[in-house]
Chain A
Amino acid sequence: GQNIDQPTEMTATEGAIVQINCTYQTSGFNGLFWYQQHAGEAPTFLSYNVLDGLEEKGRFSSFLSRSKGYSYLLLKELQMKDSASYLCAVRLYSGNTPLVFGKGTRLSVIA
Chain B
Amino acid sequence: DADVTQTPRNRITKTGKRIMLECSQTKGHDRMYWYRQDPGLGLRLIYYSFDVKDINKGEISDGYSVSRQAQAKFSLSLESAIPNQTALYFCATSDSPNFEQFFGPGTRLTVL
Q: Do A and B bind each other?
A: no
Residues of B near any A CB (own CB < 8 A): none
Residues of A near any B CB (own CB < 8 A): none
